[in-house]
């Protein structure tokens, strides 16, 4: 799961943060490519274009910190990552690790989480997700001994769906004529899985409500409860973590800092405080550059938009861009993903004292996730539909060196953007007493849940701040404060508008909407975009 906060970004523990000021270092001359946004999709595409073809790429970030949801923020004595809670498939030799090492040139180290990477708690009943497919299966069978066949069937479907997704996503990078011929065959098998909801598939596997609730316990990682989410994304996420979770040593700011030199070596650069107002489209319906919010125009024949599909079509492209109206209509049929509230907690910890926790906690009032969330959406005073508790300082072995005697915890729940719409037109940090009071009530509920589930924190909390969907809207420029771009519904996977190619020549989508949510999903979106630009596989990862 990734987050955005209201809080001030700062340099990472490993040194300077990536990017230089647009105002102080305006771009000069033309570039081979321009990337809008500096999230993982843009950074991955820019690095691969630089490495594989020597492309001079300009990365433009409207925020004052580069990295998108991989940047960090600080408070006196504390630092939090705003987006990364854990990443799967980062063991040496894994394909995703190889791609990450290629893009960052091995500049990011990964710390392995404990064997129990996730603990699902339903009511007061804990269920451990243990690293390793067989161990995962055996532990679930211990909890549900009469459901062993159902568990085996479930894992088989997860493996099959995740495997089929590779061809589905690879098709997105194919040239148009080839995609029209090979595309239906490449998409067919995965669409058989993604066209059904998670609830439908789980309901056919088992009638045990508790087991269904446990199996869907990671639904916060893709932001839709079982009856609304595609089984395709559920399977991809579960498979992603089956071998355990990992965390970047030194914090997530190491990611952008490690990728930046790759981009710069080919003559490119990352600029912050650089807001793109419009994608310029010339004759022949070809992208020719961008216009900045200050009126400056920068030229390039390749534009990579990591701003999200909706922002790209609704805000950045001119209305007359040929073929874009149909794509916009298709995108409008897919709702924005859910938004979230997040409590960032800083605590004092005595020298040598153990951390307050290690495994991620997913806490639910009951096994019916859809009913839980529906009640909460209708009435915010109802029980929280699910709470995710993460212990970032415990995951990072370098944290204690920089922040001795401190610890950090993050507490998250999903919430509808509609609750916050009345304050949408107010200014950040100036939203009024009603907003502040609502935030205080929500923060109090999340803190109470933390103190209930992790009693050792009582009396140790020194810093506690809340982010809301308006924070995400303000910093990430997501129009509904969504956390995963467009919703991971069955309709999303059928959409032909979501992919790296657009109707505008030379314009490509990158990041989560071009592929999958999360840091690894956005990175894959970047790899697909670079491959489409170069008309060949841009990666060496196998």
Please report the DSSP string for 412-459 in residue order.
Answer: EEEE-GGGGGGGTTSBTTBS-HHHHHHHHHHHHHHHHHHHHH-GGGTT
3-state DSSP of 198-241: HHHHHHHHCCCHHHHHHHCCCHHHCCCCCCCCEHHHHHHHHHHH
DSSP-derived letter for residue 137 is: H
Q: Which of 225-229, 350-354, 396-400 has the highest mean pLDDT?
A: 225-229
22 against 540, higher pLDDT? 22
Q: Nearest 5°: CA angle at 431, between 480 and 381?
A: 70
d(CA 450, CA 343): 10
Q: What percent of the chain has pLDDT over 90?
A: 80
Condensed to tens digits (0 to 9), the pLDDT of residues 91-127 reads 999 999 999 999 999 999 999 999 999 999 999 999 9
Taking residues 470-482, report their average pLDDT. 78
Q: Is the pLDDT of residue 304 over 80?
A: yes
| The pLDDT value given to residue 472 | 80
| The pLDDT value given to residue 513 | 92
Q: Is the pLDDT of residue 445 over 90?
A: yes
Q: 194 is written with which tokens?
A: 């993604």
Q: Nearest 5°: CA angle at 63, between 172 and 89?
A: 45
Taking residues 431-453, report their average pLDDT. 95
- Rg of the chain on CA atoms, in Å: 22
Taking residues 460-473, report their average pLDDT. 90
Contact 337, 482 (CB under 8 A): yes
Mean pLDDT score across all residues of the chain:
92
Q: 13 is written with which tokens?
A: 């523990």
d(CA 510, CA 489): 19
Strands (E), 109-169: 110-112, 116-122, 125-130
Condensed to tens digits (0 to 9), the pLDDT of residues 146-161 reads 999 999 999 999 999 9
| The pLDDT value given to residue 531 | 96
d(CA 385, CA 369): 7
Half-sphere exposure of 256 (CA within 13 A, CB side): 33
CA distances to 9, 257, 373, 379 from 226, in Å: 34, 37, 11, 20
Alpha carbon 400 to its chain's center? 26
d(CA 237, CA 215): 12
Condensed to tens digits (0 to 9), the pLDDT of residues 276-291 reads 999 999 999 999 999 9
Confidence of residue 541 (pLDDT cuts 50, 70, 90): low
77 against 225, higher pLDDT? 225
Q: Is the pLDDT of residue 483 over 90?
A: no
Contact 14, 397 (CB under 8 A): no
Confidence of residue 11 (pLDDT cuts 50, 70, 90): very low
| The pLDDT value given to residue 16 | 56
| The pLDDT value given to residue 242 | 98
Q: How far apart are the first and last CA of the chain?
A: 26
d(CA 164, CA 349): 46
| The pLDDT value given to residue 71 | 73
As to burial, measured by CB atoms within 10 angstroms (0-12 exposed, 13-18 middle, 19+ buried), residue 294 is exposed
d(CA 498, CA 503): 11
Which of these, 28, 120, 9, lies nearest to 67 by C-alpha position? 9
Taking residues 384-413, report their average pLDDT. 94
Residues 451, 453, 455, 459, Cα dihedral to 10°: -20
Condensed to tens digits (0 to 9), the pLDDT of residues 170-215 reads 999 888 888 889 999 999 999 999 999 999 999 999 999 999 999 9
Condensed to tens digits (0 to 9), the pLDDT of residues 507-537 reads 999 999 999 988 999 999 999 999 999 999 9
Strand 110-112 versus strand 72-75 pairing type: unpaired
Q: Is the pLDDT of residue 166 over 50?
A: yes
Residues with Cβ within 8 Å of 5's Cβ and at least 6 positions away in sequence, in order, are: 73, 80, 82, 342, 344, 465, 467, 471, 475
d(CA 238, CA 242): 6
Condensed to tens digits (0 to 9), the pLDDT of residues 38-75 reads 999 999 999 999 999 999 999 999 988 888 877 777 88
Confidence of residue 542 (pLDDT cuts 50, 70, 90): low
Q: Is the pLDDT of residue 6 over 70?
A: no
Confidence of residue 1 (pLDDT cuts 50, 70, 90): very low
Alpha carbon 4 to its chain's center? 10
d(CA 89, CA 512): 18
Condensed to tens digits (0 to 9), the pLDDT of residues 246-283 reads 999 998 889 999 999 999 999 999 999 999 999 999 99
């Amino acid at each position: 799961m990734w987050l955005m906060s209201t809080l001030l970004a700062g340099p990472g523990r490993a040194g300077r943060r990536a990017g230089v000021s647009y105002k102080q270092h305006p771009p000069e001359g033309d570039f081979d490519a321009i990337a809008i946004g500096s999230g993982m999709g843009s950074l991955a595409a820019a690095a691969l274009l630089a490495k594989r073809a020597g492309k001079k790429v300009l990365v433009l970030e409207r925020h004052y910190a580069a990295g998108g949801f991989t940047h960090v923020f600080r408070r006196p004595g504390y630092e939090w990552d705003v987006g990364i809670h854990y990443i799967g498939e980062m063991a040496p030799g894994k394909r995703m690790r190889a791609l990450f090492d290629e893009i960052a040139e091995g500049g990011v180290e990964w710390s392995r989480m404990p064997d129990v990477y996730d603990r699902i708690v339903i009511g007061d009943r804990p269920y451990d997700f243990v690293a390793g497919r067989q161990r995962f299966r055996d532990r679930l069978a211990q909890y549900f001994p009469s459901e062993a066949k159902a568990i085996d069937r479930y894992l088989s479907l997860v493996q099959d769906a995740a495997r089929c997704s590779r061809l589905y996503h690879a098709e997105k990078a194919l040239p148009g004529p080839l995609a029209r011929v090979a595309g239906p065959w490449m998409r067919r098998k995965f669409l058989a899985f993604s066209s059904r909801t998670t609830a439908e598939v789980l309901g056919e596997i088992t009638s045990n409500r508790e087991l269904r609730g446990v199996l869907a316990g990671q639904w916060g990682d893709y932001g839709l409860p079982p009856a609304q989410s595609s089984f395709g994304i559920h399977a991809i996420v579960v498979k992603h973590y089956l071998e355990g979770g990992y965390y970047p040593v030194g914090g997530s700011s190491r990611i952008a800092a490690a990728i930046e030199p790759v981009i710069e070596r080919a003559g490119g650069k990352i600029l912050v405080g650089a807001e793109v107002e419009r994608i310029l489209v010339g004759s022949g319906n070809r992208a020719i550059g961008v216009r900045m919010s200050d009126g400056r125009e920068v030229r390039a024949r390749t534009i990579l938009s990591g701003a999200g599909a909706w922002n790209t079509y609704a805000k950045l492209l001119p209305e007359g861009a040929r073929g874009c109206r149909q794509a916009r209509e298709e995108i409008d049929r897919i709702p924005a993903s859910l938004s979230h509230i997040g409590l960032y907690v800083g605590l004092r910890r005595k020298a040598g004292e153990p951390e307050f926790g290690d495994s991620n906690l997913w806490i639910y009032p009951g096994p019916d996730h859809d009913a839980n969330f529906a009640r909460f959406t209708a009435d915010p005073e109802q029980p929280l539909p699910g709470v995710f508790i993460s212990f970032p300082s415990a995951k990072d072995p370098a944290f204690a060196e920089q922040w001795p005697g401190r610890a950090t915890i993050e507490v998250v729940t999903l919430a509808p953007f509609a609750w916050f719409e009345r304050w949408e037109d107010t200014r950040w940090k100036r939203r009024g007493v009603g907003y502040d009071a609502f935030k205080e009530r929500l923060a109090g509920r999340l803190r109470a849940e933390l103190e209930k589930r992790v009693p050792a924190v009582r009396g140790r909390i020194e810093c506690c701040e809340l982010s809301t969907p308006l924070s995400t809207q303000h910093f990430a420029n997501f129009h509904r404060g969504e956390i995963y771009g467009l919703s991971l519904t069955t309709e999303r996977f059928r959409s032909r508008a979501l992919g790296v190619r657009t109707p505008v020549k030379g314009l490509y989508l990158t990041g989560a909407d071009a592929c999958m949510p999360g840091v690894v999903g956005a990175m894959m979106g970047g790899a697909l975009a670079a491959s489409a630009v170069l008309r060949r596989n841009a990666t060496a990862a196998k």
